[in-house]
Amino acid sequence: MEIAALVSGGVDSSVTIPLLKEQGYDPVIFYIKIGMEDVPGYTDCPSDEDIEITSYIADKYDCHFIIVDLQKEYWESVVAYTIDAVKKGLTPNPDVMCNRLIKFGAFEERFGNQFDRISTGHYARIIENNGDHLLGLAADPVKDQTYFLARVTPQQLRKLMFPLGSLTKPEVRKIAEKMRLPSAHRPDSQGICFLGKINYNEFIRRYTGELPGKIVEMETGKVLGTHKGFWFHTIGQRKGLGLSGGPWYVVKKDVAENTIYVSNAVHPESLMSLEVPLVDINLLHSDFRLTNDMPVRFKIRHQPEFNFGKLRLEGDKVIIVADRMLSGIAPGQFGVLYHPEAPYCLGSGVIADG
């Protein structure tokens, strides 16, 4: 079996290589370059260290190593999606779209016909049953990354391998230490996909600029302060507002007026809802069907815990009716659906506004 192993230089993807070698595979290692060091003004996201570590791992395990430049594809797809979403007042998730459009999209288009499988360091599993490929939950519920993988297509899913799916993060660190990998003690990436050290707000600022507007108390209409642009804020946010007497929560954004509405109620009613409306549904298997009153587990953000509820179908829209009030439902983010009992993901939708 021919395997393309995507390695970023971090500890997770690095550990996949000795695991694949132990299983008798001889993967070709790919480093996907989408960082911004080649763009004027972007000097804080170098890939040199990542490439050096990945090259070392390739030499250590006698693997062919290829650097793939997908900067153009990344900017034309993921960056364009991100900027378009924030300008509409939505909350994008570049990491989710990077998986679909770049790691398993543009990369697959360029090299896919040469390989049977694409391996990554995601914490997830592929469940094979009678020829079917399902996106299964990882053994580590805290690190499980199925939320970030729920937008891949069924065709993409059939080619994926996740060697870390049965391991916990501490176990991965121990393997890295045992194998004396240079990434053993590297901190987990906090950046956008492969963008590394770039701060998200700084990333957005460079493309949207600033547009001062009012911060208004939802209950009273009182102007409490100013913000630098509605696109820097998301529903449910309670940090970075610069207001005293809090905590203050962002409960509404008026895009046309460039106004942020906030509340300091302990449980602001305007932040709470039983319903999560989803559009642009992506199911991970052609046999999956969503029906009225269908019970599901679901997530509206990356977190270990599941929410529970039932579905209500309204035309092209799927409404999740939760069994308890939820807060921080951010339009533009993704709602991910899971089987109510079995350990696999059904698919996802984009959270709609209202």
Catalytic residues: 98, 193
For tokens 């983010």, the residue is: 333
Beta strands 213-217; 259-263: pairing state: parallel
Reduce the DSSP state of residue 4 to 3 states and report it: strand
Secondary structure (DSSP) of 193-252? TT-TT--HHHHHHHHH----EEEEETTT--EEEEES-GGG--TT--SSS--SS---EEEE
Beta strands 295-299; 307-314: pairing state: antiparallel
Secondary structure (DSSP) of 54-85? HHHHHHHTT--EEEEE-HHHHIIIIIHHHHHH
Q: How many angstroms separate the CA atoms of 87 and 257, rounded?
A: 13
List the one residue out of 118, 72, 113 whose CA is nearest residue 99: 118
Q: How many angstroms separate the CA atoms of 122 and 103, rounded?
A: 12
User: How many of the other CB atoms lie within 10 Å of CB of 11?
Assistant: 24
φ, ψ at 243 (rounded to 5°):
-105, 145
Q: How far is CA 167 from the centre of its chain?
A: 20
